């Protein structure tokens, strides 16, 4: 195994393990102080070694989206998983049932049709499946709206043999003014949980949050669980939103300069197959596909599959063919999904390599 970063082949994902462990510890401490359960979303890392560190630090288990991800994590010893996702489609159900027999598994629902199919599968297998109803608190993705729609679906699900309503969950995601957005997300969910309880439906879990809103939503009394994912690594997007600092970014894409076609342009060996095509307003020059450490104003302005073009600042003109750069990716979760392994470093020395064991598990 190469021992220093400059001997690593590129492009590669490099994880600073001290920073990673710092992020894991900080959020675990927050959850303990706030008195909420921490159930990190494993889609960010898809990596068994990181899941184990999260659970050792106090996480109750994992949140995941796909059955394939849950199968990988269950095999690795994670015994408590919430699929915060609508599991729809006949071919998925036998896998869901066998997982539910093996570990503590809970699943998201947001429709009577979806819940009905789960109920029939559970009943047929002679088990009771725990479900959480998804509430749309403003993202406009899955979930039923608070109020009448939620109450009606909860009554429908409560009548289904084979299912037990374990609670409600939401994913609000980013909104400007994170403090107020998270508080509102938590308050809406606690209010809805109380309304359902008054209607005779038992609601144990009120599950909220994300890296941007998890801290403020988690402080709302009555919220029982938060599900941040990106916090383990953070990325350019979280730094831009103010939910992480550059020093809390624990993963970079290591790339090499492969061409210097002109004074102000460098071309890297990391394109959309290493960085994803995601971009955002991370450079003072405009949209960029990430932030180059040490040269934050350079703009990665265009990606091809194998090439990333950088518009250089004056001080970055010193970059030469063969030089290494570290890129904080725009959005770390899909970036990790592209890689087979994470190269782990401590104080600049390579210490381990971890497989991205649950990558590409889209089913």
Quote the least distance from Cβ 218 to ligand PLP, whole Å. Answer: 12
Quote the least distance from Cβ 257 to ligand PLP, whole Å. Answer: 31
**Does residue 84 belong to the site contacting ligand PLP (CB under 6 A)?**
yes
**Does residue 211 belong to the site contacting ligand PLP (CB under 6 A)?**
yes
The position carrying tokens 């949980």 is: 193
15 near 250, Cβ under 8 Å?
Answer: yes
The secondary structure of 43-62 as a DSSP string is TTT--HHHHHHHHHTT--SE
**Does residue 255 belong to the site contacting ligand PLP (CB under 6 A)?**
no
Quote the least distance from Cβ 243 to ligand PLP, whole Å. Answer: 8
Q: How many residues does the chain have?
A: 363
Query: For ligand PLP, which is the closer residue by CB, 279 or 331?
Result: 331
**Does residue 210 belong to the site contacting ligand PLP (CB under 6 A)?**
yes
64 near 80, Cβ under 8 Å?
Answer: no
Quote the least distance from Cβ 114 to ligand PLP, whole Å. Answer: 15
Give the interface segment with ligand PLP, choosing from 3-11, 66-74, 208-216, 311-319 (CB under 6 A): 208-216
Q: What are the beta bridge partners of residue 250?
A: none
Query: For ligand PLP, which is the closer residue by CB, 173 or 265?
Result: 173
Q: What are the beta bridge partners of residue 286?
A: 283
User: In 3D, which of 171, 94, 165, 105 has the Cα closest to residue 136?
Assistant: 171
Burial label, 182 (beta-carbon count in 10 A; 0-12, 13-18, 19+): buried
Give the interface segment with ligand PLP, choosing from 11-19, 146-154, 222-230, 284-292 (CB under 6 A): 222-230
306 backbone dihedrals φ, ψ, rounded to 5°: -110, 0
**Does residue 229 belong to the site contacting ligand PLP (CB under 6 A)?**
yes
H or E element at residue 64:
strand 62-64
**Does residue 230 belong to the site contacting ligand PLP (CB under 6 A)?**
yes
Count of chain residues binding ligand PLP (CB under 6 A): 13
Residues of this chain that bind ligand PLP (CB under 6 A): 41, 44, 63, 84, 171, 210-212, 227-231
């Amino acid at each position: 195994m190469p021992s220093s970063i400059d001997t690593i082949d590129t492009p590669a994902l490099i994880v600073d393990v001290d920073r990673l462990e710092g992020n894991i510890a900080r959020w675990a401490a927050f959850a303990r102080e706030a008195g909420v359960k921490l159930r990190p979303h494993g889609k960010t890392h898809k990596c068994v070694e990181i899941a184990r560190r999260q659970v050792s630090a106090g996480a109750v288990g994992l949140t995941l989206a796909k059955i394939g991800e849950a199968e990988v994590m269950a095999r690795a010893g994670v015994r408590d998983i919430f699929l915060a996702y609508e599991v729809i489609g006949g071919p998925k159900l036998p896998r869901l049932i066998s997982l539910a027999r093996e570990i503590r598994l809970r699943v998201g629902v947001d429709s009577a049709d979806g819940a009905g199919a789960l109920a029939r599968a559970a009943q047929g297998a002679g088990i009771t499946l725990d479900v959480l109803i998804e509430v749309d608190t403003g993202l406009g993705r899955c979930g039923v709206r608070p109020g009448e729609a939620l109450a009606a679906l909860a009554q429908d699900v409560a009548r289904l043999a084979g299912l037990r309503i374990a609670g409600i969950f939401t994913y609000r995601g980013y909104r400007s003014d994170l403090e107020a957005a998270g508080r509102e997300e938590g308050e809406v969910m606690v209010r809805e949980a109380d309304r359902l309880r008054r209607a005779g439906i038992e609601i144990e879990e009120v599950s909220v949050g994300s890296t941007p809103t998890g801290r403020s939503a988690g402080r709302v009394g009555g919220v029982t669980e938060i599900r941040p994912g990106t916090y383990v690594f953070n990325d350019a997007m979280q730094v831009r939103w103010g939910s992480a600092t550059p020093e809390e970014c624990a993963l970079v894409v290591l790339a090499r300069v492969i061409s210097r076609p002109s004074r102000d342009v460098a071309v890297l060996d990391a394109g959309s197959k290493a960085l994803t095509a995601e971009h955002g307003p991370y450079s003072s020059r405009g949209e960029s596909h990430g932030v180059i450490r040490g040269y934050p104003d350079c703009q990665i302005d265009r990606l091809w599959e194998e090439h990333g073009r950088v518009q250089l600042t004056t001080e970055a003109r010193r970059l030469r063919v063969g030089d290494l750069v570290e890129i904080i990716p725009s959005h770390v979760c899909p970036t990790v999904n592209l890689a087979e392994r994470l190269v782990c470093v401590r104080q600049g020395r390579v210490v381990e390599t971890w497989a991205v064991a649950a990558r590409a598990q889209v089913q």
